[in-house]
Structure 1
Amino acid sequence: MKRMFTLLALVWAGSSMGADWQVTQSDSISAYVLCHQGDCPVRTAKVFDLPVAVPMPARVSDSAAKPVTMHSSTSVRFALASARLSQTEKAKLKAFLKRHRDARRFLVVGSTDQIGKKRFNETLAYKRGMAVAVFMRANGIPNRNIKVDSRCCIEHPPSTNPDARRAVISINE
């Protein structure tokens, strides 16, 4: 409040004396300097470089447009060196499948962290993907609608990298 009063007093005093204000900034600090006519810097126009607007093509509405594609995904987590789904993860996966029963294509990507030997992790990543696919088939998803892939040896541990030790199930329409 005191600053506001001081600023208003300076503005009033400057305007009554025919003075002008100069604002300077350096490193996010603003300074207001009272200057009298004749010793103030010359005012310049401020110019902003704005990108040239590119006209957008007219959108043609088509009543027979393609259906909106559905992109959704979820992930299930696994214990260290395991490809077994826990009851919690099974419930999560079952809820996901119930919401997306009409989807035609699922992509399941199993993954591992860097702990352990590369050959073991490559096999484990694939087994995690297959464990999810087997669960999906048991819950009514046709085999032809499921594609399984794997990624081995993700660099960071699961505490800093959520991709490690899990399988991601995504819908690809």
Structure 2
Amino acid sequence: MGGDMERVGILVTPDKCSGCRLCEIACSLEHEGIIWPEASRIRIFELLPGINVPHTCVQCPDYPCVAACPTNALSVDEKTGAVLVDEDKCIECGACVAACPGDVPRIPEGKGSVVICDLCGGEPKCVEACHEAAHDALKIVRGNYRPIFRTFAKDPVAKSFEIARKVYGEEFLR
């Protein structure tokens, strides 16, 4: 799929995340028009007090969520490589949720469809909010970023704990 497209991604630097959740607020405002963190396309996992890890779609090379959708509600943005959701076609069956190796898609109660990061068309609002808050835990990357993102593609919580152990030490995590 779109091997020549200019890929856009979000580079996460977990040790810079303060857990302020401004990224979740910016995302829900952009997509829903209201502050609704449950419908945000980015999530912050608080592993321990003070250890927060942003998590969002990494655009898997084989797009298992897109392939799993029985109604073709999911597609790939040819410009960015992001997964797009056609809310009118989504039946909230959860097939994409089950297929995702990173546990990214969610079906917020009352939304009527699944939510997955669409990268805001190439200019993610979560990244802007993080930068404006002077945290810079999120950055936009363009081009071939796949090796960086494979780190978090599978089991983000386990990978986050591994990074936290390296950054903060084993004693801190007990």
With structure 1 as the length reference, what TM-score do the two structures score?
A: 0.20
With structure 2 as the length reference, what TM-score do the two structures score?
A: 0.20
Which structure ranks higher in relative contact order (CA pairs < 8 Å, sequence separation ≥ 6)?
Answer: 2
Richer in strand (by share): 1
Larger Rg: 1
Richer in helix (by share): 2
